[in-house]
Structure 1
């Protein structure tokens, strides 16, 4: 397994998501740009506040992807035989990347999911080795390989 290629893929993917979030944020702001003096009735004020809330959520998405990029960049992806940040774990159904929380994706024909070191599942599999397993939420994770 080429862990550095996977790391590069993750950074590229998160960068693209950050750029897309920025485009959506800018588009939303330009489509909903109204001066404060234009807000005159309660209904308009309510819509204005709702627009501000949506803009804030879109901005938070940009920052989330930026944090993911920094977390991925700083983690050591060296080969390991112990589950720790930077490890990639192969189970029967999925590959777990111990780095940051990332929704499931496919890379080179295999299904992956990013797992934060703060996640409860990580606490279950932390420091385990090949051949060991852990059960989390009534799901058994048999460690087939660690990269």
Structure 2
């Protein structure tokens, strides 16, 4: 398994998320600006307050993806024999990348998911080796290989 290729794939996907989040945020800001000569009423203030919360959430989303991108760029994907940050874990069900949280995705005809070290699933897998198992949410994961 080529861990560098997978790391680069994750970085590309995170770049795409940053771009899309930034585009969504910019689009929202452009569509919700108000000209200085517009008449204000009580409803406008409520709308501005709600808009401010949405704007903050969109900005936070952009910043989260930027942070994930930097994290991935700096993450060591060196080979390992125990489950730790940077490991790719082959289980009997799915490949789990210990890095940042991702939606499940397919790569090289295999199913992957990214899990952060703060995730409960990681806590179940942490420091385990090939042949061990982890039961999480009543699902047993048997560790077949660690890259």
TM-score > 0.5 by shorter chain: yes
CA RMSD of aligned residues (A): 1.4
Identify the residue that residue 95 of structure 2 maps to in structure 1: 95
Identify the residue that residue 79 of structure 1 maps to in structure 2: 79
User: What's the CA shift for 1:92?
Assistant: 1.8
Does the 8 Å contact 1:95/1:111 carry over to 2? yes
Identify the residue that residue 61 of structure 1 maps to in structure 2: 61
User: What's the CA shift for 1:37?
Assistant: 6.6
Count of matched residue pairs: 147
Tell me which stretches of 4 or more aligned residues in structure 1 moved more than 4 Å. none
Gaps of 5+ in 1: none
Does the 8 Å contact 1:39/1:45 carry over to 2? no
Matched, 1:10 2:10: yes
User: What's the CA shift for 1:81?
Assistant: 1.2
Identify the residue that residue 21 of structure 2 maps to in structure 1: 21
Gaps of 5+ in 2: none
Per the normalisation by structure 2, the TM-score is 0.93
C-alpha deviations, 1:84-114, integer Å up to 9, x for none?
Answer: 0000011122111001111111111111111
User: What's the CA shift for 1:141?
Assistant: 1.0
Task: Sort the Cα spacing of 1:37 and 1:48 in 2 relative to 1 into closer, same or farther, 3 A.
Answer: farther
Per the normalisation by structure 1, the TM-score is 0.93
